């Protein structure tokens, strides 16, 4: 059952051009089984009509503190909510909320709730960059408000920059994490995730690659970020740079195993959790040709040399308390092969998947894994979407971290 099923969600909408996207958020929440009560500020009503929300939400739109038929609506809304989402949130909403200024029904509801609050800011790049706005965001985040986005992309007026509302999909995803009480699990931690298959050049136009799509690594980065971590995503998939650039995260695009090693090794210093989800080539052509190999020159001979094992290197240098996670893509003897990798590479957890099974692993939206711990633990996660697998992996990392920390302090 969805984490949002039967949860009462107040969906606050403020006056920004992204207000139209709140309709999609509303629909997704309702589809997930939530009871959605929309609250529109006066500004929001200039961008979008109440009728749209009235038709889609679980109850009619509310806009005012002063309603004769419905006295003290903010208390009813705030106290009854399991979750409050504000999307989009303007700079003004952030300032009012930070200051505790009850400026209308939405801010009054925010004051009157003890439920988790998810805020998705959207504004122009210059506004978002204002020290005052950043200060408000920092303060709200430090108080436990869950911030999602903004992201880079096209803004009102055709500008491109940082400030676009996070996608409705991501906002609902973070809402789910918040309702599960997991939104702060990783606050103050640094998580490094590698994703995608490396590409080893043969010549300027050809490479040796593999079938990894990078989806599982991407979902791990999103999950860790949703739970409050500062995430560094090191990926071979260029589109990730557009899709994964939320607040306080870093994304680096690399191509080869050698480039990935440099980036991961640097990012792993001081990281709390490192997840090697990338499918790193084990062999690379010895020296890439500087010009395109031509047919007329006959069949080329491609000699290969081994790459460095990034995970094994991290295992050797692992700092106390760091949790190191690897993947094991296998086609036979899943648990035996994966256990051997766990030991050989000095990892704390290995996520083993049988990539020959239907709908599992490379390129699919779903995965089925066995999570093996260096402490002998073993969890089977049946076929689920990669976001759910990511949740299970992060849960296991946190359990391992707690066990490790407890052991170190006793
Ligand atoms: N890995 C790595 N560096 C490499 C190869 C693999 O860091 N040069 C990491 C992968 O990111 C993954 C784990 O090691 O987390 C296991 O990768 P996998 O390809 O399953 O195992 P290999 O060690 O390459 O062994 P084999 O291909 O023989 O199964």
* Torsion angles phi and psi, residue 353, rounded to 5: -135, 145
Task: Give start and end residues of each alpha helix (H) in 32-104.
Answer: 42-47, 50-56, 73-80, 91-99
Q: Are strands 207-208 and 200-201 parallel, antiparallel or unpaired?
A: antiparallel
- CA dist., res. 256 & res. 261, Å (int): 9
17-21, 171-175, 359-363: segment of lowest average pLDDT: 359-363
Is residue 339 assigned to a domain?
A: yes
- In contact, 85 and 120? CB cutoff 8 Å: yes
Reported as a pLDDT band with limits 50, 70 and 90, residue 1 is: low
Q: Which residue CA neighbors atom 6 of ligand 1 most closely?
A: 280
Atom of ligand 1 nearest to the CA of 314: 7
Query: How does the average pLDDT of the chain come out, rounded?
Result: 92
Q: What is the pLDDT of residue 357?
A: 83
Judged on CB neighbours under 10 Å (0-12, 13-18, 19+), 280 is buried
Closest-CA residue, ligand 1 atom 18, reads: 328
Pick the atom of ligand 1 nearest to 325's CA: 15
Helix, coil or strand: residue 9? strand
pLDDT class for 21, splitting at 50, 70, 90?
A: very high
Residue 407 CA to chain centroid, in angstroms? 29
Q: Which residues contact 4 (CB under 8 A, 6 or more apart)?
A: 29, 32, 33, 34, 172, 175, 176, 179
- For residues 262, 265, 269 and 275, what is the CA-based torsion angle, rounded to 10 degrees? 130
CA gap 181, 20 in Å, rounded: 28
CA 282 to ligand 1: nearest atom = 8
Given a cut of 80, is residue 183 above it in pLDDT? Answer: yes
User: Per the residue annotation, which of 210, 367, 395, 406 is the catalytic one?
Assistant: 210
Q: What is the mean pLDDT of residues 263-286?
A: 97
| Nearest atom (ligand 1) to Cα of 310 | 7
**210: annotated active-site residue:** yes
Can you list the alpha helix ranges (DSSP code H) found in 289-379? Answer: 310-317, 334-345
pLDDT of residue 23: 97
- Ligand 1 centre to CA of 311 (Å) is 7
Same domain, 337 and 293: yes
pLDDT tier for residue 46 given thresholds of 50, 70 and 90: very high
The bridge status of strand 378-385 relative to strand 366-373 is antiparallel
Residue 201 and residue 160 share a domain: no
Q: Examine the domain organization and report whether 215 and 104 are in the same domain.
A: no
Please give the number of the atom of ligand 1 that sits closest to the Cα of 306: 8
For a substitution probing ligand 1, which of 196, 236, 328, 362 has the most ligand atoms within 8 Å of its CB? 328
Contacts of 357 (CB under 8 A, 6+ apart): 368
- Burial level of 338, CB count in 10 A (0-12/13-18/19+)? buried
Question: In a mutational test of the pocket of ligand 1, which residue from 276, 277, 283 has the highest number of ligand atoms less than 8 Å from its CB?
Answer: 276
Overall size of the chain counted in residues: 410
Same domain, 74 and 201: no
Q: For strands 304-306 and 283-285, give the pairing.
A: antiparallel
- For residue 395, the CA-to-ligand 1 centroid distance in Å is 22
Helix pair 168-179, 21-31: axis angle to 10 deg: 50
- pLDDT band of residue 116 (cuts 50, 70, 90) is very high
Together in a domain, 14 and 156: yes
Nearest-CA residue for ligand 1 atom 8 is 309
The CATH number for 368's domain is: 3.40.50.10300
pLDDT digits (tens, 9 = 90+) for 378-400: 999 999 999 899 999 999 999 99
Instruction: Indicate whether 410 pLDDT > 80.
Output: no
pLDDT in tens, 242-273: 777 777 789 999 999 999 999 999 999 999 99
Q: Do 324 and 205 have their domain in common?
A: yes
Q: How far is CA 364 from CA 214, 373, 385, in A?
A: 10, 25, 9
Q: Does the structure show a pLDDT above 90 at 115?
A: yes
Phi, psi of 216 (to 5 degrees): -65, -40
Determine the structural domain holding residue 354 and report its residue range.
Answer: 190-409
Q: Ligand 1 centre from 211 Cα, in Å?
A: 14
Distances (CA, A) of 73 to 10, 37, 359: 12, 11, 48
291 with 270, same domain?
yes
One domain for residues 212 and 101: no
Quote the pLDDT of residue 409.
67
What's residue 404's pLDDT? 80
**Percent of the chain at pLDDT exceeding 90:** 76
Contact (CB, 8 A) for 397 and 323 = yes
- Phi and psi of 222, rounded to 5°? -65, -45
170 CA distance to ligand 1 middle (Å): 30
Residue with tokens 């990926």: 235
Among residues 179, 205, 231, the one where a domain terminates is 179
DSSP state of 98: H
Most confident of 49-58, 305-314, 352-361: 305-314
The whole-number average pLDDT for the span 83-107 is 96
Final residue in a domain of this structure, among 130, 155, 179: 179
β-pairing verdict for 366-373 and 349-354: antiparallel
Phi–psi pair at 92, nearest 5 degrees:
-65, -45
**Residue 264 within a domain:** yes
Which of 50-64, 133-147, 242-256 is the least confident region?
Answer: 242-256
Q: How is residue 59 written in tokens?
A: 């109850």
Cα four-point dihedral sign 16, 21, 27, 30: negative
CATH number for the domain spanning 76: value is: 3.40.50.1950
CA 240 to centroid of ligand 1, rounded, Å: 22
How many angstroms does the Cα of residue 279 sit away from the middle of ligand 1?
A: 7
Both tokens assigned to 357? 């099974």
CA angle 224, 86, 390 (to 5 degrees): 20
Enumerate the H helices of 253-350 as residue ranges: 257-268, 310-317, 334-345
Full-model pTM: 0.90
> Quick count: other Cβ atoms within 10 Å of Cβ 195?
28
How many independent structural domains does the chain possess? 2
- Ligand 1 — pocket residues by CB below 6 A? 257, 276, 278, 280, 282, 307, 309-311, 326-329, 341
* Residue 243: closest CA among 220, 223, 218: 218
Whether 24 is covered by a domain: the verdict is yes
Read off the pLDDT of each residue in 54-64 and give the average, rounded to a whole number. 94
Query: Percentage of the chain with pLDDT > 70?
Result: 99
Residue 252 sits in the same domain as residue 173: no
Q: Where is the domain boundary, 131, 157, 179? A: 179
In a domain, 300, yes or no: yes
């Amino acid at each position: 059952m969805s984490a949002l099923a039967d949860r009462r969600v107040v969906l606050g909408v403020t006056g920004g051009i992204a207000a139209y996207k709140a309709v999609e958020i509303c629909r997704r929440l309702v589809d997930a089984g939530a009871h959605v009560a929309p609250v529109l500020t006066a500004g929001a009503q200039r961008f979008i009509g109440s009728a749209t929300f009235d038709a889609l939400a679980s109850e009619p739109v509310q806009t005012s503190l002063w309603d004769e038929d419905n006295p003290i609506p903010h208390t009813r809304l705030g106290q009854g909510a399991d979750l409050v989402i504000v999307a989009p949130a303007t700079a003004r909403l952030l300032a009012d909320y930070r200051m505790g200024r009850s400026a209308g029904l939405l801010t009054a509801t925010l004051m009157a709730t003890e439920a988790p609050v998810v805020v998705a800011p959207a504004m122009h790049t210059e506004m978002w960059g204002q020290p005052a706005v950043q200060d408000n965001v920092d303060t709200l985040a430090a108080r436990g408000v869950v911030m999602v986005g903004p992201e880079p992309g096209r803004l009102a007026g055709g500008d491109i920059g940082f400030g676009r509302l996070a996608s409705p999909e991501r906002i609902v995803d973070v809402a789910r994490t918040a309702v599960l009480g997991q939104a702060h699990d990783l606050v103050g931690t640094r998580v490094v995730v590698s994703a995608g298959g490396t590409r080893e050049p043969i010549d300027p136009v050809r490479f040796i690659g593999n079938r990894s799509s990078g989806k599982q690594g991407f979902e791990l980065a999103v999950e860790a970020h949703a739970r409050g971590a500062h995430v560094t995503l090191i990926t071979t998939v260029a589109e990730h740079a557009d899709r994964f650039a939320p607040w306080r995260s870093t994304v680096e695009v690399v191509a080869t195993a050698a480039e990935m090693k440099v980036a991961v090794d640097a990012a792993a210093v001081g990281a709390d959790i490192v997840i090697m989800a990338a499918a790193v080539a084990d062999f690379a052509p010895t020296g890439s040709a500087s010009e395109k190999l031509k047919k007329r020159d006959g069949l080329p001979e491609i000699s290969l040399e081994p790459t460095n094992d990034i995970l094994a290197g991290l295992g050797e240098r692992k700092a106390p308390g760091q949790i190191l996670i690897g993947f094991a893509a296998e086609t036979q003897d899943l648990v035996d092969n994966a256990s051997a990798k766990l030991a050989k590479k000095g990892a704390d957890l290995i996520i083993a998947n049988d990539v020959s099974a239907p709908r599992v692993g490379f390129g699919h939206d779903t995965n089925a894994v066995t999570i093996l711990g260096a402490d002998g633990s073993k969890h089977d996660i049946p076929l689920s979407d990669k976001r759910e697998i990511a949740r299970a992996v992060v849960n296991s990392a946190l359990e391992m971290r707690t066990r490790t920390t407890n052991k170190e302090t006793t």
